[in-house]
Structure 1
Amino acid sequence: MDMETAGPVVLDTLSRACSQDASVLKPAEHQLQQWETQPGFYSIVARIFSNHDIDTNVRWLAVLYCKNGIDRYWRKTAPHALAETEKDLIRKQLISNFNEPVPQVATQVSVLTAKVARLDCPRGWPELIPTVLQAVRCNDQLVQERALLTLHHVTKMLASKRLAADRKMFEDVTKEIFGYVLSLWNGHLSHFLQLAGSHDEGMMVAVDRCILTLKILRKQTAFGFRELHTNPESVNFLGSIFPHLEAMLDCRRSLWGHHSVVEKCERVIVTLTKILLDVLTMHPNSFLGYIKTTLQFVVKYNFTEKGLLFERFAVNCFNLMKGILFSETYKPRKSVQEQETVSQISMEAHLMVKEFFTFQMLAEICRRLVLQYFLLTTDDLTTWDADAEEFCQEEGGDSFKYSLRPCTEVLFLTIFKEFRLSLTPILMEMVQSIHGPCDPDSLEAILKKDAIYNAVGLASYDLYDDIDFDNWFSSTLLGELRVKNDSYRIVRKRVIWLIGQWVSVKLSVKLRPTLYEAILSVLRTEEDLAVRLEAAATLRSAVDDFEFNPEQLLPYVEPLFSHLFQLLTHVRECDTKMHVLHVFSFVIERMGAMIRPYTAALLQYLPGLWQESADHNMLRCAILSTLIHLVQGFGSMCTNFHDFLLPVIHLSTDVTQDPHVYLLEDGLDLWLMTLHHSPLLTEGLLKLFNNMPSLLELGTENLRVCLKIIEAYILLGPRDFMQHFHSVLVSSLSSLMTDIRAEGLILILRLIELVFRAFPADGPRLFSPMLPGLLKDILAPEENPMLMSMYLSLFSRVLLQNQELMWSVLEQTAPHLGQDSQQALGKLLDLWCDKMDWVSQPERKKICALALSSLLTVNLSTVVEKFSSIINMCVEVLHDVCRQDEVTGVQIDFLVMGDQDGPPESGMEGDQEDNEHERRKKMLSRQDPVHSVSLKDYMVSQLTQCQQSHGQVNFDRLMESVDPDISSQLRMFCA
């Protein structure tokens, strides 16, 4: 692309790409996409966004295109990588553009500069930092602000690199510029504090510069020093944080009413507290000297009459206190192997914490946490009234880092666990103060009870020895649930939650029926929606308990399902429906087959819910999960709802349908479960298999479950399935085996082996095109014992069930080895002898021994030469599969199954389940030579035929070649 001539064309195309008219926009976007890989395109785009005379929207779009180009094409190894000359032009353009007048474009240019810096700085772009610092020192206010913005984004990007060389580079950059940025911060902060009292218009400019410089200092402090306490400038900065915090908090109070400035002040305050959090996390040793000051500061501004100043500040303060108590560095070391310096720091920190948290201090913090911060606010209650589902949304994960309520609860738990002996009497005193139902008309009393119950629920495990929960549950909590006053819903919701917290901690099994009745009482449709949702969650906790007894829940299943079903119809949000569905699923799973008579209503509702959730794939995943548990519970009766089930599976596993991206994993599990429990192969199930070839083409991500599904089909309807899909099966498996790891190859070979077991004569013929290639693989060096075991097992079945085919395979393979078929057989037998120890499962060993025994009657010179080796291997297997009968003393083959026997526990298949699929596996096992033929009897028969075939003299000569000990052992087994 010629830069001189193409610039106007690119500019015009970018202008058209900003159009609101789709007929203009789409062709322009397509043209820009075509240019993305053209040399010179991004340097033209850089010139366009740097030209302040061009329309702002066009320049903003130009920056975005350049950002995307850097992500894709800047690295030298990237396809269509940018030439060094073009990259140099872009870099020069970026550091000559510190006078961008539009803030939004300036931000994007700064981010773009940072992206380039992350890849090139400092070696490929040594002039970046000096140029930016020179611009920061400029007297031009706009240039200085834009340079600070760029320095902030560059610092943030460089600080994110974690390789040792990159960290060293960032430390070097920090050493060079930290002092200067610190002086800027101090100067801008002093200037702002001077202007704050006068309400000068320059306050906004000053505070914006404070924010930018402080953000730079934050990253450099956290990631730019090995040890902060050894650097005078960083020590000076950390020591100034608390006075600066005090000053900014006072400033925020004095400027109340100037909303924009107050908001900026709060950003400075929050960033200062974030720096403390970073240092506590990244440099706990350097934070040691600030522990006491931090704790005093947190208490002063959060646990006194000053109250809650603003949420983000309180959250960071609470996380600072929690971080100090939670830090492993500050916990006393018991091990003598600990480093002495670390132990000294731990002891100092421990003493400081112990001295600070006196009983009076703990009592005050505990009471304020519970009675001030745990209280539901007016906003909470307004949200509850407006949208109960939103109010019930749980905040999990790292929400304690950003949200006040979870942050407060985490701090309470941390303090309570650390000082349980001191705080338990205080909390128990609070519980006593609210004993019994309170005045339903007193909101203050209700909120206080809610807060205290919240604390008791959070600390349930720590209060195990201090609360007789059975008595409290029966005498008090059940009574609270019976108070049906509307305002008392707050207490009812909290009580049913509290029971859910304690149910697995200390609630007697004998009280479980009473618990289910209590849950039913607050699941009714006339109850508040938030209370009902909490009751559903408590039901899940009760069912999830180790001591759960399904028979105790059985009398309540029908009404519980009815109320849960009604709850499911009443909620609107996808997430809420998912939560309720998960309760359904869990109850169904835990109840097992007992659930069958009670799920008709759910089955009536799920088809409608499936249709309604067409745009909510995660809800559909929850429905699939529920259906999996339903199929498990229904067993063979699942055919009653195949009309709904099979279309759902088809949509979920059809790779031509967009939803499969979300539904495939659960859809495959449902497909497998349906096959496992179906009593016969229906036409609908057979048609469903048309989805499978495309799924196998996707690769190995879902290979295991796909192969299990094919296995289930082979067991469910072997004749019908193979008649329809044998060619598809062979071609799909052949294609998969061309490029696959050993683990995947083993899974495929197990499936082929299943076909051989189900069709002893036709199975090997069906896969005959693959067998020469497999034989070449087996004769090549193979160091995977499991894979070698599968190869030997597979060819054992071919040899045992279709010797004619085996000779054909040997004849096809021998020329590729430069041998004749007898030599190839000899090589195979040598390999068998060498690798037999790799076959670990008794079943596979036995099929190998049966196959080798079948050769004893074959009149081939190779077999005669290997006679003793064959006998050795077979006798070795006899030791593995025979046991002495306690009554007769005769050696019997324990793998042989009687009419009532199932496969031995050491069988080749996986986990056993009581379903139709397992029954079919047992039936197939009874037909398998491994379980239907006695190895010792078969060997006696083969040796007898060998004797007749070779004559007594030759047979005796063959037996003389066998080791005398082996011969003696053989006679013992065959006696």
Structure 2
Amino acid sequence: MELLYPNLLTVLSLANGERNQQQQQAEAQLKIWEVQQGYHYLLQEVYLKTEVPLQERWLAILCFKNGIDKYWRSSKQNAISKEEKQQIRSRVFMLLSEKNNQLTIQNAHLIGRIVRFDFPNEWPTLFDDIVQYLEDLVFSKNDLVSTNNLLIILNQIIKTVSQVRIGRARHAMQSKAPLVVPILVRLYIKFFQEWTQTIDLSLMEVCYLCLKNLRRLIPEGFEQPHKNVDIVEFLKVSIAHLQLLVVEHEKYSSDLLERYVKCYSKVYYNLISVNPTSFVLLPCSQDILTTFLSLLELKAEVIYNSNEEENDFWETLALKGFMILKKIIAYIYKKGAVVLKQRNEKEEVNMAIKKLSTEFFTPQVVQHLCDLIINWYLKLKPCDLESWQLEPEEWCNEELSKSWEYQIRPCAENFFQDLISFFKDILTDFVLNKISNGLVKNNNVEDILVKDSIFSTFQLSSTSIANNVNFDELLTQIFIPQGLNNDMVENKIIKRRVCLIISEWVSVDCSRQSRLSIYKFLVTLMDPQNKLLNDKVVKLTAIQTLKSVIDDWDFQKVDIQPYINDFIQLSLIMLDEMDFTESKLFILNTLAMVLERCNPLVPIDTLMQVLAIVPGFWQMSTDTNEMILKTALLRVLKSLVVTLNEKSPAAYSICLPLIKASCASGNSENYSLLGEDGYELWLSVLQYCPQSEINNQIILNLFELIRMGLLEGTESLPIVMSIIRSYSLISPQLFQSEEALELFRILSGYLSNMRDDSLAIFIALMDILMLECGDNQLFLNNLISSGLFSALVHYAIDEKQAVVSANKAFLVLSRLAQKSPETFFNILNHLSIDKEPFLTKWVDYYKSNGNPRNKKSNLVGLISLTLFGLKQGSSIVIQLWPTVIKYAFLFMEELNEDGESAVNLYDHDFVYEDINDYNYLDPTIAPHGENIRYKSLLERSDLVYTVKVSRLIHDTLTSLKQTLSSELFQTAISSTDAYTMEKLHAYRT
């Protein structure tokens, strides 16, 4: 079908119809036409004509917008021609009279995309044209609809260009901003006066769009807004208008008016964020700050008594007020170094900081702000107390997940932390006096709420005032006694606050003796027998605090030992008491941490009790919302297995089926949600498997799940490979199977692009397998057929790989060379690998080995290959022999294998890097099964332990002398340098 306007209109109509063959043919025709010249011009023709049915116009504008993305750039295949683009640009403002708002918005978006590509190079007059249109539409034609639509387009253009960080577009907009701002300011003032007199919503909407454009253009369009007369005038007027609308809020109450007020706050906030110096130097900056400070004070009671169902207008304004003040305080504290692109002169920055410090943030204002926050914004609101009473779990979980940027109390808390941090000299004694004076008040709920608010200031001040207070004294003499006070039911508020104080301070300043008091206090709060303390919010906060204390760097598990059993028993009781998944999840995660950090002090009977709850909770967690509980249960099981260590088989009846359920990739929902934690549990089971269980058939059968995990788990590759490594120590025979061949094929594909963490595990895996199976033909066949041996060789000699990484590959290859140099050379020949560059690179990289183990392992492999190659008359080996034997003598000098310290010479820097982790962290923990298996393998099979280099040299020389002719032997000896010759002579004599 030919591309003509009537045909296009017909096809668009069919494409909008019911799903049938004609509709599919129409879509296919549009696909054919989209690469033809003139197609996008005709699409524009369709949506510009108001007489065309709306559905066809809508489809046309969507197709056109998609076409801009695909074909507007001249570098694109089938790009729109320069002439067609010019014709399209000439008509983009012909839809200004459109009355369909959604179509106007779509038009604005597509114009924004064209501007992104063409401004300023192809469309230098863009902003000049818009200013001319605005002048004409407002002051000549008084066309409100077209003005509204043009302002929507301008807003999208400014938004698009502001996001550009590379190229000329943003700078070009800044050069035009002084042209656009005056007309926007004039229109804003004109329409504001008109709508406030007439309450005309149409005028109000157009005026709002002027404000919205200015909100974007002022911060992004000017380097120094405070030097522009129009901006200074507008901001001065805007704060007066803001004050008017706030005062007359009830009179003008509407969603649009509230959007106005929020937009003013965004103007100021964006300007402070982009250019704080310029904001502070504005003549009206102090009026702006004072206005928001007054709003925070005047509307504090209204905000305090509001609830979530009510209008959040005042709360939103208060949030912006705190955020504006927060930005200004940070600016003072950081001496103007807030924004990297700040270009103001140093004198201006100093002037701005001095103005703020002396004229606004005086000690009186700072203390007044502190009082205001304590009295209203940190206090729990009536709606909080109601939610605590009616829905304690839900309220507590919401408290844990609140975001400070969107909710008033968290925002006030965050702001207070800045206040106490930046003005600690003014506020430290002020806050401490508040605490001491507020202790005696405990007569009613209001007193308790104020005390809670005051205590929260101490909680929030931990990092700022730690050097000025003795937390241990305050904890034992004030906070814990206050937390144990049961005079009123409402004292649960203080109990919760004391827990939060502990959570915040324990990592800052808390002695071991104080921690004992904390453990006793938390056990008391969690005890269900104490009816006065039996509150879900208090309990959940207490267990949150327990997690913070245990997770701290200075935690000492011997201190908590008398309370471990109590904490675990009480946590299990709490699990039954809670109804919400989030609550149970938090308890389970804390339980897992207790088991992990307190290993091995948890009594075996208690561990069995924890194990016993898992099946029941697993069965209950069936729907998607509760599926997350299963991840927590898997983590608890992992901690249990680690803690049980050699007794871990007691958990197999529960662990092994759940591993299969979680890691079988056939069940995509289970796998995506549980796979990672399932792998963690699986790895723990293997690592802590005692020697008596290594033939457990269920464990061995799980091996068949590994292949899909390896294929699908790019993010979890390190842990999947760790599982494979564990199997190499449990049952090396598995790697002589067809399943192992598939694993090796996958690994050979991954090797060249492996991250360092995965590579370290892979090297340890291959090192173990070479020691275990290096002389097994089935294993070697798998290694060769899979391409993994070839991948290892090419990885080692790849110039793009770091020397350290290449040496790790040579380390693995050295194991095979030690086992059978003949087999090694045969494999190289079979795979047509050129021995000269390969062996030359290996010898060259040898000296870059960093630790004795790797150095000796490489050396043993090279000597083994050299001995065999010399006997075979290999030319490359004959060339490399002098270097290798020299390295052997140098190694003997560096490391005295016959010295007193020789016993511990190689007991560090294992290839399996994390084998000593648990021993290193805590010597009281017995080594796990994998640790024992690995070290047993090294002692049994590693030539690093069983052969000294001196003996190796002796045996090598003896073998060469017996095998080579006297002439060849003397030639080999004489080819070495003077140092080596001297050593050889001394050695032979």
TM-score normalised by the chain length of structure 1: 0.85
Sequence identity percentage: 23
Question: CA 1:873–1:552 in structure 2 vs 1: closer, same or farther (change >3 Å)?
Answer: closer
What pairs with 1:787-806 in structure 2 (closer than 5 Å)?
A: 787-806=805-824
Does residue 1:677 correspond to 2:688, yes or no? yes
The answer to whether the 8 A contact 2:856-2:944 is kept is yes
Residues 73 and 81, structure 1, Cα contact 8 Å, conserved in 2 = yes
- Counterpart contact for 2:9–2:56, Cα < 8 Å: no
Give the corresponding residue for 1:578.
585
Q: Distance in 2 between matches of 1:893 and 1:483?
A: 64
Please say if 1:915 is aligned against 2:961.
no
The reply on whether 1:375 has 2:379 as its aligned counterpart is yes
2:575 match? 568
Once the two structures are TM-superposed, the CA of residue 910 in structure 1 deviates from its matched residue by: 0.6
User: Which residue in 2 is equivalent to 1:931?
Assistant: 945
Q: Which residue does 1:272 correspond to in 2?
A: 264
Post-superposition offset of 1:601: 3.8
Q: 2:735, 2:238 → 1: CA distance?
A: 75
Identify if the C-alpha distance between structure 1 residues 384 and 746 changes in structure 2 by more than 3 Å, giving closer, same or farther. closer
The question of whether the paired residues in 1 share the 8 Å contact of 2:14 and 2:26 is answered with: no
Secondary structure of the structure 1 residue equivalent to 2:16:
helix
Structure 2 CA distance for aligned equivalents of residues 836 and 381 of structure 1: 70
Distance 1:765 1:707 in 2: 21
- 1:164-209 CA-to-partner distances (Å, cap 9, x unmatched) read 423213313423322211211121122233x1xxxx351x223222
54-63 or 361-370, which deviates more: 54-63
Which residue identity is paired with 1:243? A
Secondary structure of the equivalent of 1:595?
coil
Q: For 2:204, what is the secondary structure of its paired residue?
A: helix
Alignment-derived partner of residue 535 in structure 2: 528
1:387 maps to which residue? 391
- Alignment match, 1:39: 33
Residue-by-residue CA offset, 1:44-68 (whole Å, 9 max, x unaligned): 8767766667787887677667666
**Which residue does 1:151 correspond to in 2?**
154
Does the Cα contact within 8 Å between 1:588 and 1:630 map onto a contact in 2?
A: yes
Post-superposition shift, 1:282? Answer: 1.0
Q: Is the 8 A contact 1:73 1:82 kept in 2?
A: yes
State the secondary structure of the residue aligned to 1:438. coil
Give me the TM-score of the superposition, normalised by structure 2: 0.84
Secondary structure, in 3 states, of the residue corresponding to 2:784? coil
Q: 2:837 and 2:474 mapped to 1: Cα distance?
A: 78
The match for 2:248 among 246, 251, 261 is 251
- Corresponding residue for 1:107? 105
Tell me which amino acid in the other structure corresponds to 1:208: E
**Native 8 Å contact 1:14 1:61 kept in 2:** yes
CA deviation after TM superposition for structure 1 residue 966, in Å:
2.2
Alpha-carbon distance between aligned partners in 2 of 1:774 and 1:312, rounded to the nearest angstrom: 61
Amino acid at match of 1:411: F
Moved more, 173-182 or 447-456: 173-182
- How far 1:102 moved relative to its partner? 3.6
Supply the distance in 2 between the matched residues of 1:127 and 1:340 (Cα, whole angstroms). 30
Pick from 880, 889, 893: which aligns with 1:875?
889
Counterpart in 2 of 1:606?
A: 614
TM-superposition CA deviations, 1:52-93 (whole Å, max 9, x none): 677878876776676666566765667887777887787677
Specify the SS of the correspondent of 2:465: coil
Instruction: Say whether residues 1:179 and 2:172 are aligned partners.
Output: no
Q: 1:519 and 1:121, CA in 2 relative to 1: closer, same or farther beyond 3 A?
A: same
Does the 8 Å contact 2:97/2:146 carry over to 1? yes
Task: Give the corresponding residue for 1:98.
Answer: 96
Partners of 2:748 and 2:205 in 1: CA distance: 66
The question of whether the paired residues in 2 share the 8 Å contact of 1:95 and 1:128 is answered with no
Aligned match of 2:432: 428
Q: Aligned to 2:826, which of 783, 808, 813?
A: 808
Question: Does the 8 A contact of 2:725 with 2:764 survive in 1?
Answer: no
Write the distance in 2 (CA, Å) between the matches of 1:937 and 1:495.
69
Residue number in structure 2 paired with 1:455: 457
Select the residue among 615, 632, 650 that pairs with 2:624: 615
Q: 1:538 aligns with which of 540, 545, 550?
A: 545
Matches within 5 A, 1:181-260: 181-193=184-196, 195=197, 200-202=198-200, 204-252=201-249, 255=251, 258-260=252-254
Distance in 1 of aligned mates of 2:502 and 2:290? 37
Distance 1:567 1:90 in 2: 68
Q: Is contact 1:376-1:447 (8 Å) kept? A: yes
Matching of residues 352-367 of structure 1 within 5 Å: 352-367=356-371
Q: Hey, what's the Cα distance between the residues in 1 that align with 2:18 and 2:128? A: 38
Q: 1-side partners of 2:496 and 2:131: how far apart?
A: 58
Paired AA for residue 842 in structure 1: P
Answer with 518-527 or 36-45: which moved more.
Answer: 36-45
C-alpha deviation, 1:393, in angstroms? 3.8
Question: 1:32–1:163: structure 2 CA closer, same or farther, 3 Å change rule?
Answer: farther
Change (3 A) 1:73 1:401: farther
- Change in Cα spacing, 1:49 to 1:450, as seen in structure 2 (3 Å) is farther
SS in 2 for 1:463: helix
2:480 maps to 478
Contact 2:420/2:427 (8 A) holds in 1: yes
Q: List alignment gaps of at least 5 residues for structure 1.
A: 18-23, 818-823, 887-891, 897-902
Q: Distance in 1 between matches of 2:453 and 2:71?
A: 56
- Partner in structure 1 of residue 924 of structure 2: none
- CA gap 1:93/1:962 in 2 versus in 1, 3 angstroms: same
The answer to whether 1:498 aligns with 2:498 is no
Q: Which residue of 1 aligns with 2:306?
A: none
**Structure 1 residue 519 corresponds to structure 2 residue 539:** no
Partners of 1:842 and 1:952 in 2: how far apart?
A: 35
Can you list the C-alpha shifts for 1:542-582, whole angstroms capped at 9, x where unaligned? 21233322123223223322332343344444444433333
Deviations 1:494-519 (A, max 9, x none): 23222332333344322323322221
Of 261, 268, 283 in structure 1, the residue corresponding to residue 275 of structure 2 is 283
Check 1:192–1:747 CA distance in 2 against 1; reply closer, same or farther (3 A cut). same
Tell me how far apart the structure 2 counterparts of residues 282 and 370 of structure 1 sit (CA, whole Å).
31
CA–CA separation in structure 2 for the residues paired with 1:111 and 1:609: 51
Instruction: Report how far residue 343 of structure 1 moved.
Output: 5.2
Query: Is contact 2:748-2:791 (8 Å) kept?
Result: no
| Structure 1 residue 404 corresponds to structure 2 residue 408 | yes
The 1:728/1:99 distance shift into structure 2, 3 A limit, reads same
Residue from 668, 673, 690 that aligns with 2:704 = 690
Alpha-carbon distance, 1:219 to partner: 0.9
The aligned amino acid for 1:800 is Q
Q: Would the alpha carbon gap of residues 415 and 172 (structure 1) be closer, same or farther in structure 2, given more than 3 Å must change?
A: same
Q: What is the aligned partner in structure 2 of residue 326 from structure 1?
A: 330
Q: 1:376 to 1:958 in 2, by over 3 A?
A: closer
Alpha-carbon deviations, 1:789-841, whole Å to 9, x = none? Answer: 24433443333322332332343456x75xxxxxx4x6655444433223333
User: Does the 8 Å contact 2:68/2:113 carry over to 1?
Assistant: yes
In terms of mean alpha carbon deviation, does 588-597 or 658-667 score higher? 658-667
Partner of 1:21: none
**Cα distance in 2, alignment partners of residues 798 and 730 from structure 1:** 16
CA distance in 1, matches of 2:973, 2:146: 100
Q: Name the SS for the 2:602 alignment partner.
A: helix
Answer whether contact 2:281 2:352 (CA < 8 A) is retained.
Answer: no
Letter in 1 for 2:203: A
Distance 2:77 2:581 in 1: 42
Say whether 1:948 aligns with 2:962.
yes
Q: Does the C-alpha gap of structure 1 residues 73 and 711 become closer, same or farther in structure 2, counting only changes over 3 Å?
A: farther
The residue matched to 1:101 in structure 2 has which SS?
Answer: coil
**Amino acid of the residue matched to residue 639 of structure 2?**
H
Q: 1:765 to 1:390 in 2, by over 3 A?
A: same
Count of residue correspondences:
931
The aligned residue for residue 659 of structure 2 is: 649
The structural deviation recorded for 1:782 is 6.8
Please list every run of 5 or more consecutive structure 2 residues that lacks an aligned counterpart in the other structure. 304-313, 918-926
Kindly state the Cα deviation for residue 856 of structure 1 after the two structures are TM-superposed: 3.1
